[in-house]
Homo-oligomer: A and B are copies of this chain.
Amino acid sequence: MIEKIKNTIIENKLLSIGDRVIVGFSGGIDSLTLLHILCNLTEYKLDVWAVYINHSLRPSENIREEQLLEDIGKEWGIKTHKVTIDIPGLLKAKPDSLELVAREERYRVFKEFRAQIHADKVALAHHLDDQVETILYRIIRGTGLDGLAGIPIARDGYFIRPLFEVTRKEIQEYAALHKLSWLEDSTNHKLIYQRNKIRLQLLPLLEESYNPRIKDSLIRLSKLAGAQRDFMTEMVTPFVAELSLTTADGEIGLKLEGFLKQPFYLQYYILKQFLLQVKPDYHLETAALEHLLEKINQEKYQFKAMHIFKGIYVHGEGKNILFSKSRQALPRKEMPSFPLTAPGLNVIPDLHLQIHIEVAPPPEDWSQVSNRLIYVAVSKLSLPLQIRFWRPGDVFWPLGGPGMQKLHDFFINVKLPKPQRKEVPLLVTADDQIVWVLGYRLSEKFKVDQQKDQVWCFTVGVSN
């Protein structure tokens, strides 16, 4: 296994001699093994730092993990560092997916600590099975071709993954051989997390009953997808240069005249590059990108204002499309409705609104349903969903109520002052039925009736 890792490091130029390397340490088998290997890679003369991030999610385990960090540090003679982040607190302030927030925070901490100690690299312990699970997860949840490339072996020039070409089994064998003692993260076995379900249920089923070599197949697919992404990114560079402009206000613009002549797939990639220029660490959903592309091709020089999530604002101006991070509210008449990607994370900057739609098991404890979190029976929804505002004649069946009533009357019942009524966002279906008066009440018509209903969980939060 060591030879394989050395090859990975050399072929992908992951390390240089004398590098100061931060190793993300969780106490689990993968990161402990990575730490052990890097400490024993004597030819590189690395200055290894083990950094532990306490997510404040499993207090008793966190204590044991911190203790392990300390023990290992002394025993192996390496520097250690620990950081505590308050994930539950962050989630309360800004409801979002736990995994997403935890991931973003982790990267932020590593970046900051790297700058602080002037480290050259941050080594993470992702391995081949993680890559396989990521690809499968993305296929199931919905991805474009680029997403099939999976996790990159290196990012930003300093996040590196030296274990990327070894399997979980090889890591287990190495850990056993070197008598490493690691800690088991109790959440690794909870099937409520889709990633765990894929690892523990789906992949074993596919290997057993469909294709014993499915991991090879998925890795091969991901390499091709990575190659096509690199090729296309290179390929569109001259087009992006030719088609871009910058306005006096600093907005980035796309010249429609040249753009509309290109074939669909090239347009798709060019547009992607424009969005990445506006926000370099952008995580774009394929569906949203396609939706925007379709709108541009339909409306051409008549392109109207629209928003897509994560704070990029796209609007037409003459023969150009402009992209900006501007959050200034548009006149209401220009924003009659906002389409939502479901499932997905939707951010509507003008409304300072963030709506996260997730596949979920029906909740066991219905008291979880709140003003900010609802569960809806998927089969009852006609898609796409939209956010819009009160219009004369709107009707609604408040959860638990006797039947349909005018939204006007509902607002009176909940004692909402008149000027505020037009400010309440409404979640509506494609056939314009009100599903949820955000912050107030779910509709009786869309509630989950039966255990076997397929369920989406909607969480609303404030976007900044």
Contacts of A268 in B (CB 8 A): 224, 227
Contact A213 B142 (CB under 8 A): yes
| A194 part of interface (Cβ distance < 8 Å) | yes
| A216 part of interface (Cβ distance < 8 Å) | yes
- Digitize A225-243: 1 where CB-to-B-CB distance is under 8 Å, 0 elsewhere: 1011011001000000000
- Digitize A431-462: 1 where CB-to-B-CB distance is under 8 Å, 0 elsewhere: 00000000000000000000000101000000
Contact B359 A217 (CB under 8 A): no
Given A208-B454, A211-B343, the answer on whether A220 and B140 have CB atoms closer than 8 Å is no
Contacts of A217 in B (CB 8 A): 139-143
Contact A230 B265 (CB under 8 A): yes
List which A224-279 residues lie within 8 A (CB) of chain B: 224-225, 227-228, 230-231, 234, 263-266, 268
Q: Which residue from chain B places its CB closest to the CB of A212 in the assembled complex?
A: B454
Contact A212 B265 (CB under 8 A): no
Contact B454 A359 (CB under 8 A): no
Given A220-B286, A220-B290, the answer on whether A211 and B265 have CB atoms closer than 8 Å is no
Contact B140 A359 (CB under 8 A): no
A139 contacts which of B139, B227, B342 (Cβ < 8 Å)?
B139
Give, as a whole number of angstroms, the nearest-CB distance from A375 to chain B: 13
| A378 part of interface (Cβ distance < 8 Å) | yes
Q: How far, in angstroms, from A220 to B211 measured CA to CA in the complex? A: 24
Contact B206 A142 (CB under 8 A): no
Q: Which residue from chain B places its CB closest to the CB of A453 in the assembled complex?
A: B212
Contact A264 B140 (CB under 8 A): no
Contact A216 B286 (CB under 8 A): no
| A73 part of interface (Cβ distance < 8 Å) | no
List which A338-374 residues lie within 8 A (CB) of chain B: 342-343, 359
Q: Which residue from chain B places its CB closest to the CB of A146 in the assembled complex?
A: B224
Contact A140 B211 (CB under 8 A): yes
| A9 part of interface (Cβ distance < 8 Å) | no
Count contacts on A: residues with CB < 8 A to the other chain.
Answer: 49
* Oligomeric state, in copies: 2
Contact B210 A194 (CB under 8 A): yes
| A395 part of interface (Cβ distance < 8 Å) | no
| A60 part of interface (Cβ distance < 8 Å) | no
A144 contacts which of B142, B224, B234, B454 (Cβ < 8 Å)?
B224
| A424 part of interface (Cβ distance < 8 Å) | no
| A145 part of interface (Cβ distance < 8 Å) | yes
A287 contacts which of B220, B290, B359 (Cβ < 8 Å)?
B220
| A209 part of interface (Cβ distance < 8 Å) | yes
Task: Enumerate 7 A-B pairs (CB-CB under 8 Å) in ascending A order.
Answer: A140-B210, A140-B211, A142-B216, A142-B220, A144-B220, A145-B224, A220-B286
List which A182-226 residues lie within 8 A (CB) of chain B: 194, 197-198, 202, 205-214, 216-218, 220-221, 224-225
Contacts of A263 in B (CB 8 A): 230-231, 234
Contact A359 B228 (CB under 8 A): no
Contacts of A209 in B (CB 8 A): 197
Contacts of A216 in B (CB 8 A): 142
Contact A212 B287 (CB under 8 A): no
Q: How far, in angstroms, from A317 to B170 measured CA to CA in the complex? A: 42
Q: Which residue from chain B places its CB closest to the CB of A231 in the assembled complex?
A: B265
Contact A359 B211 (CB under 8 A): yes
Contacts of A218 in B (CB 8 A): 139
User: What 9 A-B pairs have minimum CB-CB distances, sorted nearest first?
Assistant: A142-B217, A231-B265, A212-B454, A227-B265, A212-B378, A140-B210, A227-B264, A228-B265, A140-B211
Contacts of A264 in B (CB 8 A): 227, 231
Given A145-B145, A263-B231, A265-B228, the answer on whether A140 and B206 have CB atoms closer than 8 Å is yes
Contact B228 A142 (CB under 8 A): no
Contact A143 B221 (CB under 8 A): yes
Q: How far, in angstroms, from A144 to B208 measured CA to CA in the complex? A: 22
Give, as a whole number of angstroms, the nearest-CB distance from A362 to chain B: 12
Contacts of A343 in B (CB 8 A): 211, 213
Q: Which residue from chain B places its CB closest to the CB of A142 in the assembled complex?
A: B217
Q: How far, in angstroms, from A456 to B211 measured CA to CA in the complex? A: 10
Q: Which residue from chain B places its CB closest to the CB of A208 in the assembled complex?
A: B454
Contact B213 A202 (CB under 8 A): no
Contacts of A266 in B (CB 8 A): 231
Contacts of A139 in B (CB 8 A): 139, 217-218, 221
